[in-house]
A = this chain, B = another copy of it.
Amino acid sequence: MKKQEKQNNSKLKIIPLGGLEQIGMNITAFEYEDSIIVVDCGLAFPEDDMYGVDLVIPDVTYLKENIDRVKGFFITHGHEDHIGAIPYVLKDVNVPIYSTRLTNALIEHKLEEHDMLKKVKRKVVKYGQHINLGCFRVEFIRTNHSIQDAAALAIYSPAGIVLHTGDFKVDYTPVFGDAIDLQRFGEIGKKGVLALLCDSTNAERPGFTDSEKSVGKTLDNIFSEHKNTRIIIATFASNVDRVQQIINSADKFGRKVAIEGRSMVNIVSIASELGYISLPDNILIDVDQLKNYPDEKTVIITTGSQGESMAALSRMASGMHRKVTIKPNDTIVFSSHPIPGNEKSVTGVINELMRKGADVIFEDVHVSGHACKEDIKLIYSLVNPLYAIPVHGEYKHLIAQAKIAEELGYDSDHIKILSSGDVLEIDENGAEVTGHVPVGNVMVDGLGVGDVGNIVLRDRQRLAEDGIIIVVMTLENGTGQVLAGPDIVSRGFVYVRNSESLMDEAKTVLDKTMDYCMDHNITDWGKIKNEVKDALGDFVWKETKRRPMIMPIIMEV
């Protein structure tokens, strides 16, 4: 950006770099003249057609190109879709990270795994604290969510105040800490807020979101009704309050608790070190010690509530867990709700557990961490922003929040539904999308970041669908005579032992094709390969109605 342009540029720019077409990969840049700050830095989990991809991170080309203006990251809470891309993005955009205490601990854990802890500056921020960075001032405001220490951010810019809720719910009776700081929302609202960026996840759901504490009562009931069996409870590792409530029930009913699953063990250990969970003396036991207690005196808290195939509960269900074997009388509780897309795997695990004779409770032992319609209305009423900018959700969720804003009297000029990459220029006099910056999915597969792109994915899709047929031959240098082959090898196409005659016929087709090439003096390798692809492709389609990848390879001696 050149100097002379800046003179006229006294608007705030809001640039979402992800998170608006999907649940996940939340990252938004706020830019005012020489200063850029970024809120959140999350990952997304791969879509079904992203074969072999482990996770997806945002394309931050825009931040890289403006690295000298980027002042810092502000992280609203410690969920993967808000912190997961930090180790990748900070490799290129290494600026300080500001977050609350637990969030910071989770970020540090992540940085350590990537051997980056010493390379990145971090700062723990308290609720109510203000951070000055460039021409921005950012205040952390207490909210509630399905992870502790969640914060909304009030971003004070010369163009006005923007309030970003992060992911939040309104919980008047939280398990740990205080309720969302509604007073401060109101106080800032009174000052006049330019724009509200508000969580849309539950904007389609009527009513209010229940308090996390209501799950505690449900858990007590389950414990009271299942006094004679072992209890195994699966939930989200990051929901420390849920784990706390399970431990409370266990304590009340005189049971020992074993924690199982890597991420669950990690988070419970971090949370207990920092004092975010309170553990009655000697209540925790190692999974190995379970055998020393009668079943009805134990509880296992485990990962796997989403049916993830490698998680502890799934391994128990399939009989592949080394230490825990499901017994016919176990009571197994899913204290969770399937995230969209996971319904079938969750059901699969439930079926497997039931088949082993377990009693499985999988409904109504969970509350959401996101604000429902009436909660969203409450926040709008307190903040009373000039502009409504729904964030965090798929398009239909953003639309649902836009409808709420409409109900509250906002006209369409004051509701801004953005797409990732949009540059929204905004001040008191107006808000419009004036440009677009590059955005996209950067796929992480193993150690590779971004080396799997659309071409590789398309190949994987095709290979997955119908497999591959490889045709190899050796030609004589100079004459082009076939010295060896053409030979056929296939993988993922047909079970060859049952399809010998098909493969024999395919070989005949190839021999004829090569005869044709010889007869017609076709010696160019590219042309020979095309003849092979066409002839074999047609034959295979006619015989099988399949389109395997056909890959001719020519060698020369």
Contact = CB atoms under 8 A, between A and B. Distances in A.
Contacts of A495: 451-453, 455-456
Interface in A346-396: 347, 350-351, 354-355, 360, 394-396
Given A396-B351, A557-B483, A470 B470 contact: yes
Given A341-B344, A472-B555, A446 B354 contact: no
Given A52-B465, A553-B472, A459 B491 contact: yes
Contact of A51 (B447, B465, B498): B465
Residue from A350, A456, A470, A546 with most neighbouring chain B CB atoms (10 Å)? A456
Nearest to A400: B354
B494 A551 contact: no
B545 A395 contact: no
Interface in A449-467: 450-453, 455-457, 459-461, 463-467
A474 B468 contact: no
B350 A396 contact: yes
A288 interface: no
Nearest to A454: B495
B463 A468 contact: yes
Contact of A492 (B447, B463, B473, B489): B463
A457 to B, nearest CB: 8
A474 B463 contact: no
A451 B484 contact: no
Contacts of A466: 52, 445
Residue from A340, A394, A484 with most neighbouring chain B CB atoms (10 Å)? A484
Given A456-B467, A463-B468, A557 B474 contact: yes
A225 interface: no
Interface string A56-98: 0000000000000000000000000000000000000000000
A344 B340 contact: yes
A547 to B, nearest CB: 9
Interface in A462-512: 463-468, 470, 472-474, 483-485, 487, 489, 491-495, 498-499
Contact of A553 (B465, B468, B470): B470
Given A395-B351, A489-B553, A460 B453 contact: no
A149 B106 CA distance: 59
Interface residues of A, number: 64
A447 B544 contact: yes
A354 B395 contact: yes
A463 B491 contact: yes
A495 B474 CA distance: 27
B451 A491 contact: no
A295 B465 CA distance: 40
A446 B499 contact: no
Interface in A97-148: none
Nearest to A464: B464
Contact of A491 (B351, B452, B487, B551): B551
Contacts of A549: 491
A546 B456 CA distance: 14
A522 interface: no
A266 to B, nearest CB: 21
A455 B468 CA distance: 14
A51 B491 CA distance: 13
A487 B473 CA distance: 13
A281 interface: no
Interface string A10-36: 000000000001000000000000000
21 contacts: A340-B347, A347-B396, A445-B466, A447-B544, A447-B545, A448-B546, A456-B494, A457-B492, A459-B491, A459-B492, A460-B492, A463-B467, A464-B464, A468-B468, A472-B472, A474-B483, A483-B557, A484-B555, A487-B553, A487-B555, A553-B553
Given A341-B343, A461-B464, A463-B464, 16 more contacts: A51-B464, A52-B465, A52-B466, A52-B492, A343-B343, A347-B396, A351-B395, A354-B399, A355-B395, A360-B396, A451-B495, A451-B499, A456-B495, A484-B555, A489-B551, A491-B549
